[in-house]
Amino acid sequence: MVRAVGNTLIRQRQRGGPGNVYRYLGRRLLHSIPVVVAVTVGAFVIIVLVPGDPALNMLGYNATPESLAILRRDLGLDRSVPEQFIGFVRGAVVGDFGESILKKEPVRDVIATRAVISFSLLFYSAVTAVVVAVPLAILSAVRRNRWQDHLMRLGSMITFAMPSFWLGLLLALFFAIRLGWLPVAGYDKTNVLTILRSLTLPAATIGLFLAPILARTLRSSIIEVLDQEYVEAARARGYRESRVIGRHVMRNSLIATVTVLSLIIGFMISGSVIVENVFAIPGLGSLIVDAVLQRDYPVIQALVLFFGLTVIVINLAADLTYAAIDPRVRLVTG
C-alpha cells in the first residue's frame, strides 16, 4: 500500500550508479522472477495449509463420501504435494483453475466477467483521482507554505485517515439516500449510462481516497519543475502564468502522476476490495471476500495469484515506461 509507494520512491532516490537501458531492463526483469515464484507458491500453499480436510470444509459435514472423494480428486488432494504444485502451475499457465464450488462454473469464466467490472471501476477511480488531485496539487505548489498549502496538508491527512468503507457509506447516505441522484448500491448493466451511474459512487470513494496521495507527490514534482530554468525562460518570454503552468510545468509533472498511479496499484486493489463490498459491485473484490467466507478454495487461489501478478506486471510496466521516457531513471537501479 502506501508503504510500497514510499519504499519504491525512496529506493529510486537512494540508489545511484551508472547503467544503461538494457542492463536496467535485464536487472528489473530478473528481479521480478523471485516475486512471481513467491506469488505462485503463496497462492498454491493456501489449500495445503488449510487445517483439516479442505473438501470437508467446502462441502460441509452432510456431504456423502462419494461427493467428497470426487471433490478431492478434482482439487488434486489425492496426489502428493509436489504433484499438486506442478498441477497448479500447469493449470495456471493456461488459465485453468478448476471449477468454482460456489458458482458451479469454471473459475476462469467467473474471474473474467468480474475482472471487466473491477478494472472499469479502477480506471474510473483513477480518472476521478486525477481530476481532483491535479488542481489541488497546482494550487498548493504555487502557494507553497501559505494557508492554501497547509489547508491541503490537513485535508489530505483527514482523507488519509478516513476508512474507505465509511467514506463510501457517507457518500451513499448523502447522494443516494438524501438527494436520490445515484443508486445506493448494486450494479445495473442495462446500458453504458446505468453502468456509469452504478460505478460513480464507488469510483468517487476510491478516487477521494487516492487523490491526497497523488496530490502530495504531484505537488513536490511541480515544485521541482517550477525551479527549473526553462520555466524561468518561459516567464522571461512574457508568457501568461496560466500558460507557463499549463504548458511547461504540467507536461513535465504528468509523468510523475502516471507513475505514482501505477505504483499504488496494490493500494487501489485493496481499496476496491472494500469499496466493492460496500456498494455490492459484483467485481473481483466482492468475489474474494465471498470466496473466503464460503471456503471456495479454487477461487481464492486463482484470485490471490491474479491480484499478485497484476501488481507485479503493472509495476514492471510503469518502471519500464518511466525508464524509456526519462533517461535519468536508468541511472537508478533497484
Contacts with another protein by CB under 8 A lie at: 1-7, 9-10, 14, 31, 34-35, 38-39, 42-43, 46, 49-51, 145-146, 150, 153, 156-158, 160-166, 169-170, 172-173, 177, 212-213, 216-217, 220, 260, 266-267, 269-270, 273-274, 277-278, 288-289, 291-293, 295, 297, 300, 303-304, 307-308, 311-312, 315
Closest to another protein by CB, 252 vs 257, is 257
Closest to another protein by CB, 97 vs 297, is 297
Look up residue 136 and give its three cell numbers. 489541488
Specify the DSSP class assigned to residue 103.
T
Distance CA 95, CA 91 (A): 6
Look up residue 225 and give its three cell numbers. 519543475
What is the closest distance, in whole angstroms, from the C-beta atom of residue 318 to another protein in the complex?
13
Neighbours of 315 (CB within 10 A): 20
Q: Quick check: 245 and 142 in contact, CB under 8 A?
A: yes
Which residue type does 81 have? V
What is the closest distance, in whole angstroms, from the C-beta atom of residue 216 to another protein in the complex?
5
Q: Give residues with Cβ within 8 angstroms of 256, minimum separation 6.
A: 217, 218, 221
Closest to another protein by CB, 44 vs 187, is 44
What is the closest distance, in whole angstroms, from the C-beta atom of residue 226 to another protein in the complex?
15
Q: Quick check: 123 and 130 in contact, CB under 8 A?
A: no
Distance CA 256, CA 216 (A): 11
Closest to another protein by CB, 154 vs 324, is 154
Specify the DSSP class assigned to residue 106.
B
Q: How far is CA 287 from the centre of its chain?
A: 16
Secondary structure (3-state) at 99? strand
Closest to another protein by CB, 219 vs 248, is 219
What is the closest distance, in whole angstroms, from the C-beta atom of residue 286 to another protein in the complex?
9
Specify the DSSP class assigned to residue 329.
G
What is the closest distance, in whole angstroms, from the C-beta atom of residue 213 to another protein in the complex?
6
What is the closest distance, in whole angstroms, from the C-beta atom of residue 243 to another protein in the complex?
26
Closest to another protein by CB, 152 vs 234, is 152
Specify the DSSP class assigned to residue 331.
G
Closest to another protein by CB, 10 vs 230, is 10
What is the closest distance, in whole angstroms, from the C-beta atom of residue 51 to another protein in the complex?
8
Distance CA 48, CA 58 (A): 14
